[in-house]
Structure 1
């Protein structure tokens, strides 16, 4: 169970943020129900993650690969469960998903994937990215996509940390709204 109760989207102070979430996501899931306790954060969250997910020029496959890698590193099962099906729809194979927790020893990832995963690992585990790892992705991506990749990795590390700190679980019952 979550560490605090999920917010009620029908409360007057939550309505505007709840409508922003519904407009983007069609439903208000566990994470967003929790974020509604802080309506400005919930609304800003949707704006930021809509930009990362829908307005980026980064390929969907790479985006979802790093999201799943972050989930694997951080032990964020909710994040993994939400994004593994999207990763498959965006072009990752089931074998790649299965190998993602130990990608370094797998031959299933090409040179671009490996550079991106090394960058993701460094940002997630070390924060300070080594120069050689940064240089590898800088050689592959133009500045816009490098910023998009970096923001995606940073953003989804934030997601996993919120999920895990508050014990948000997709199996938790949500009260009627």
Structure 2
């Protein structure tokens, strides 16, 4: 059970969130709606990250899933692992993301995981790894990957701190 109760999801902000979500509110949304300005800004930011970036879906979802693992955010993992598989990531390699032996991943995926680990664990990205990501993704892609990792670190920290597990509804 989450640390705070759900709020009554009414009003313009709740409707904008519902519209982005295809008509439904998630337990995360219901927690965010304790602060409408937060929920509204979050909805805009995460909407851009999820649907307006050029970053390939498999790389986006890979980064999100790795953040979930590193931050012990099970809700985030359960929400995004199926999206990662749907984006073409081999289902039999999902469990490899839960550990540090990533040899089964292709080079692009290893780069994204290493970059995600650096941003999440250390904040600073070593020059050689940054150059590798930039070569793989270009400048815009590197910015979008970095923003995705940063945004989902925010998501996971919010979920974990407020104990939002996703099974309340």
TM-score range, shorter chain: over 0.9
Aligned length: 168
**TM-score normalized with structure 2 length:** 0.95
5+ residue gaps, structure 1: none
- Residue 139 of structure 1: aligned partner: 135
Among 16, 19, 23, the alignment partner of 2:19 is 23
- Residue 53 of structure 1: aligned partner: 50
> How does 1:1-177 map onto structure 2 within 5 Å?
1-10=1-10, 15-25=11-21, 26-102=23-99, 104-173=100-169
Query: In the TM superposition, what whole-angstrom CA distance separates every residue of 1:80-124 from its partner, at most 9, and x where no partner exists?
Result: 01011111111111122111112x423321111111111000000
| Runs of 4+ off more than 3 Å | none
**TM-score normalized with structure 1 length:** 0.91
Distance 2:140 2:134 in 1: 11
Distance 2:157 2:126 in 1: 23
- Conserved? CA contact 2:134–2:141, under 8 Å: no
TM-align CA RMSD = 1.1
Q: Secondary structure at the match of 1:18?
A: helix
Distance 1:95 1:107 in 2: 13
Larger Rg: 1
5+ residue gaps, structure 2: none
